[in-house]
């Protein structure tokens, strides 16, 4: 890991804590963000947000105070078609124009997740095609390994495409015009 604050716990602590995270999220195994209507997306976002929030401190995966990034990325690996990974540089900047969560991990995830679900539902065919391409051939679509990762890649692509002299324009979330 780099010099930042995103340090994982020793494996002897990490493994049982990760097992606990995955056990709490097991009811969502095999589900896809592409299949969620608005009420379902809000409900799933609230439930996954609680899982993310519950695993901090001694029960957490990371030594950092903020658990949103580490726990969402861990859940992304366990539920790749349901949970997009959250990071500071892209996800939080896109939604909130800041690199720290504006509320608790649960509150922040509950805001982000329904937006991802709406975009996923509206672009389900494109997302399925991208994952099929990655599974079939790699190449240009090699990073599109799951529904959640395609959404993450699209968000990063939007940010890179909308940079203007080093700063990016407002996101559609904060500037709906």
Which pLDDT tens digit goes with each residue over 6-17? 577 888 888 888
- Per-residue confidence (pLDDT) for residue 4, from 0 to 100: 55
**Confidence (pLDDT) at 37:** 96
Query: Which of 66, 45, 46 lies closest to 55 in space, CA to CA?
Result: 66
> Is the pLDDT confidence value at 121 over 90?
yes
Say yes or no to pLDDT of 138 above 70.
no
| φ, ψ at 50 (rounded to 5°) | -65, -40
Give 168's DSSP letter.
E
Q: Which residues contact 115 (CB under 8 A, 6 or more apart)?
A: 95, 173
Q: pLDDT tens across 58-79, in order?
A: 777 777 777 898 889 889 989 9
Report the predicted TM-score, pTM, of the whole model to 2 decimal places: 0.81
The two tokens of residue 169 are 């324009």
Write down the mean pLDDT value for the chain.
84
């Amino acid at each position: 890991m780099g010099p930042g604050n995103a340090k994982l716990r020793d494996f002897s602590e990490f493994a049982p804590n990760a097992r606990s995270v995955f056990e709490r999220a097991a009811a969502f195994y095999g589900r896809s963000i592409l299949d969620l209507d608005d009420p379902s997306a809000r409900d799933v976002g609230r439930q996954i947000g609680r899982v993310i929030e519950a695993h901090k401190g001694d029960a957490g995966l990371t030594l950092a105070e903020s658990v949103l990034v580490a726990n969402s990325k861990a859940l992304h690996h366990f539920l790749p078609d349901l949970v997009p990974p959250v990071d500071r540089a892209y996800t939080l900047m896109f939604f909130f124009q800041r690199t720290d969560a504006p509320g608790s991990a649960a509150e922040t995830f509950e805001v982000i997740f329904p937006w991802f679900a709406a975009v996923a539902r509206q672009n389900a065919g494109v997302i399925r095609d991208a994952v099929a391409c990655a599974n079939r051939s790699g190449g240009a679509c090699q990073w599109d390994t799951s529904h959640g990762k395609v959404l993450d890649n699209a968000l990063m692509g939007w940010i890179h495409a909308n940079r203007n002299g080093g700063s990016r324009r407002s996101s559609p979330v904060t500037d709906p015009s």
